[in-house]
Amino acid sequence: MSPQPTPRPFPLADADLCVKCGLCLPHCPTYGQSQNEADSPRGRIMLMQGLATGRIVPSSTLERHLDGCLGCRACERVCPATVPYGALIDAGRALLAEQRPARLQQSRWISAVLSRRPLRRVLAALLRVYGATGLQALIRRFRLLGHGPLVRLESTLPTLTRPARSKLPVIDAPRGTVAIFSGCVGDIADPDLSADLAALLADCGFTASTPATQTCCSAIDQHAGDPLRAARLASRNLEAFGDGSTPILSLATGCAATLADYPRLVDNGQPFAQRLRDPIAFLLEHSERLRFKPTPLRVAIHEPCTQKNVIRQGEALRRLLARVPELEIVELDASGRCCGAAGTHFVSHPAEADALLQPKLAAAATLAPDVIVSANIGCALHLAGGLRRAGGLSLEVLHPLRLLARCRA
Ligand code: SF4
Ligand code: SF4
């Protein structure tokens, strides 16, 4: 049995690295929205310092400012003092949760469902019934849910009509093997993606597996401020992927960013984190045997914050897509600002999330792409939901691996 994780104190020394220069403020989407210092990285760091030293007591106002953070880490990317803001905001919410444990009820409930494979299968089966019977199409066509929060939530649901392609290709004399981290939401909402990646990997000469006992990456618990539950999930993934040096490719950039943080969560997380590879960068690196057919599509790239600010492998995607003949590539929003999905933010803060989505929807209307690609499942669902609600914009939002798999020669 894995050792039980122990609570870690708030990293005050990391917070004290902030010199309050304010260079991060113009890059912060929530500060851009409210122009309130308490909604900026600098302000939130000061609030967390106050909380950690007892100078500030928890209050609903404090919770609102800390919970309003998207965790996009745009501030971290531009900070000259290399303040690890992502780790700080997680630790700050954990401090809040120590004093207000009830705030973890919702995340624990969501995580309890998503981290259990049988429950994910039930959810996926329900979604398939909903999609395959035509009920979903009927509800959307005749707007049977009205205009309340339910219709907003429903509009983000994917349309599933058949079980996932569970068989991954097996190739003779592979040049190597890799393990795929599929992610809990991706397992339900985009269940064929492992097969898509495995097909591309097979073209490159690699055999892929998806360890059956893998679970949620722990992002839900980690970002809610529940590091002990997050560490337990991390330990389960360490066991599922075992020791050794097999590269681990995460389908969603949101999961990849959390998996890369395992050394911060669990004592033995470093070897696991060292095996992580971005799937598209991996394909590009081994792409000499990859062949694509001419695909005359205009593709708009939406770069998730976790890709842009944490993993930083977005260039690999552009280079790989450029290998597809006749594919035209455009940027959905060159500002690179967060789309508002941000984990569960688009559900908990719908008005703010929709405001952040607006520039992306406007860009989609202007650029008129055939397809939008996004390597994070949350962004893809949020974008697709926004396009549906806007009406008339019925373009597909795909994971870039799905598009690349469709373009295989
Ligand atoms: S987080 Fe970094 S960029 Fe922002 S105020 Fe502090 S030191 Fe400056
Ligand atoms: S993570 Fe994003 S939303 Fe949060 S303070 Fe930094 S820039 Fe602002």
What the block records as the tokens of 337 is 């600002």
Asked if pLDDT for residue 363 goes beyond 60, the answer is yes
Question: Could you say which DSSP state residue 292 is in?
Answer: B
CA dihedral over 238, 108, 15, 75, signed as positive or negative: positive
- Report, as an integer, the average pLDDT of 128-136: 93
Whole-prediction pTM: 0.93
22, pLDDT greater than 90: yes
Beta bridge partners of 397: 372
pLDDT band at 66 (very low <50, low <70, confident <90, very high): very high
Cβ-based neighbours of 337, under 8 Å, separated by 6 or more: 29, 32, 74, 356, 359
State the average pLDDT for the chain: 93
Question: Would the pLDDT of 5 be above 70?
Answer: no
User: What is the predicted pLDDT for the residue at 269?
Assistant: 95
Q: Where residue 4 falls among pLDDT bands split at 50, 70, 90? A: low
Q: Please report the pLDDT score of residue 379 as a whole number.
A: 95
- Run of H or E including 188: helix 184-189
Q: Which residue's alpha carbon is nearest to atom 4 within ligand 1?
A: 24
Percent of the chain with pLDDT over 90: 83
pLDDT band at 164 (very low <50, low <70, confident <90, very high): confident
Backbone torsions φ then ψ of 194, nearest 5 degrees: -60, -40
Report the separation in Å between the CA atom of 338 and the middle of ligand 2, taken as the mean of its atom positions: 9
pLDDT of residue 335: 85
Helix (H, G, I), strand (E, B) or coil at 255: helix
Structure-model confidence comparison of residues 1 and 397, the more confident one? 397
The single-letter DSSP state of residue 142 is T
Ligand nearest to the CA of 75: 2
Q: Give every CB contact of residue 127 below 8 A, 6+ residues apart in sequence.
A: 157, 158, 160, 188, 189
pLDDT score for 7: 67
41: Cβ below 6 Å to ligand 1? Answer: yes
Q: What is the mean pLDDT of residues 103-115?
A: 94
Give the pLDDT of residue 152: 82
| Ligand 1, atom nearest to 81 Cα | 7
The dihedral through the CA atoms of 193, 111, 217, 388 has a sign that is positive
Alpha carbons 353 and 372: distance in angstroms, whole number: 19
Ligand 2 — pocket residues by CB below 6 A? Answer: 27-30, 41, 44, 69-75, 85
For the ranges 21-30, 164-173, 286-295, the lowest mean pLDDT is seen at 164-173
Amino acid letter, 212: A
Expressed in angstroms and rounded, the spacing between residue 390 Cα and the centre of ligand 2 is 27
Helix boundaries (H) for 85-207: 85-99, 105-114, 117-132, 135-141, 149-155, 184-189, 193-204
Say how far residue 112 (Cα) sits from the centre of its chain: 18
Average pLDDT score over residue span 98-111: 94
Site to substitute for ligand 2 among 20, 73, 78, most atoms within 8 A of C-beta:
73
- Report residue 169's pLDDT band, with 50, 70 and 90 as the boundaries: confident
By CB atoms closer than 10 A (0-12, 13-18, 19+), residue 347 is: middle
Q: What pLDDT was estimated at residue 1?
A: 47
Nearest to 380 by CA among 107, 156, 100, 195: 156
Query: How many angstroms from the chain centroid is the CA of residue 244?
Result: 26
| Residue 393: pLDDT band with limits 50, 70, 90 | low
Indicate whether residue 16 lines ligand 1 (CB < 6 A): no
Going by alpha carbons, the residue nearest to atom 4 of ligand 2 is 69
CA of 248 to the centre of ligand 2 (A): 28
**Which one of the ligands is nearest to 41 CA?**
2
Read off the pLDDT of residues 240-264 as tens digits, 9 standing for 90 and up: 999 999 999 999 999 999 999 999 9
Please compute the mean of the pLDDT values over residues 199-220 and round it to a whole number. Answer: 96
Run of H or E including 179:
strand 176-181
List the one residue out of 178, 228, 188 whose CA is nearest residue 6: 228
> Could you read off the pLDDT of 310-329 as tens digits, one per residue?
999 889 999 999 999 999 99
Residue 289 has pLDDT above 60, yes or no: yes
Question: How many other CB atoms sit within 10 Å of the CB of residue 349?
Answer: 19
What is the model's pLDDT at position 6?
65
Beta strands per DSSP E along 244-289 = 248-250, 276-277
Nearest atom within ligand 1 for CA of residue 21: 8
